[in-house]
């Protein structure tokens, strides 16, 4: 149905080099990546983990909005946070966890319905599916009035 692409032009070694992202939509153009900024303080540069977090948060928000709307309780507001953890496992850098947190204002929904819709969105969003079998994905929900 749709295909998106991005490119990185990398120059130099891992420790001292860096790259610049170009994307088909132009939204990511000029974003810089480097190893030191990936594992230390970002200093205005992004990382693969941050991009995965952004992709997962936005995909989950869309899936949850759809699921709630299908149940007759469209959300007034959803605030989704995705935190991606990069750690060393057996000497190799590995994405170990993705923590999704959603706070929502959903007129007509109770906590159980909100949680069920969120679990469905976590399982059904295409980014979650792409990451299946990888890092543990946790979910925390908060329904506000």
For residues 41-66, average pLDDT: 97
Give me the percent of the chain exceeding a pLDDT of 90: 99
Q: Is the pLDDT of residue 87 over 90?
A: yes
What average pLDDT does the chain have?
A: 96
- In this predicted model, what pLDDT tens digit does every residue of 15-35 receive, in sequence order? 999 999 999 999 999 999 999
What residue ranges do the domains of the chain occupy? 6-39, 48-144
Structure tokens at 20: 């610049």
- In this predicted model, what pLDDT tens digit does every residue of 51-61 receive, in sequence order? 999 999 999 99
Q: What are phi and psi of 94, to 5 degrees?
A: -145, 140
Q: Residue 64 has what pLDDT?
A: 98
DSSP calls for the chain:
-----EEEEEES-TTT-EEEEEETTSTTTT-EE-HHHHHS--TT-B-HHHHHHHHHHHHHHHHHHHHHHHTT---SEEEEEEEEEEEEETTEEEEEEEEEEEEEE-TT--HHHHHHHHHHHHHHSHHHHHHTTSSEEEEEEEEE-
CATH of 48-144, one of 3.40.50.1980, 1.20.140.10, 3.30.300.20, 3.40.30.10: 3.30.300.20
Q: Is the pLDDT of residue 1 over 90?
A: no
C-alpha 9/C-alpha 7 separation (Å) is 7
145: confidence class by pLDDT, cuts 50, 70, 90 = confident
């Amino acid at each position: 149905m749709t295909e998106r692409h991005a490119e990185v032009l990398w120059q130099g070694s891992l420790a001292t080099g860096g790259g610049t992202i170009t994307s088909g939509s132009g939204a990511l153009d000029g974003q810089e990546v480097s190893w030191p900024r990936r594992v230390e303080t970002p200093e205005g540069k992004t990382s693969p983990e941050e991009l995965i977090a952004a992709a997962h948060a936005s995909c989950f928000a869309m899936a949850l909005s759809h699921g709630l709307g299908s149940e007759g309780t469209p959300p007034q507001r959803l605030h989704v946070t995705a935190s991606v953890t990069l750690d060393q496992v057996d000497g190799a850098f590995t994405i170990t966890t993705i923590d999704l947190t959603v706070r929502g204002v959903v007129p007509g929904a109770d906590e159980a319905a909100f949680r069920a819709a969120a679990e469905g969105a976590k399982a059904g969003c295409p980014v979650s599916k792409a990451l299946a079998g990888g890092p543990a994905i946790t979910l925390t929900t908060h329904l506000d009035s």
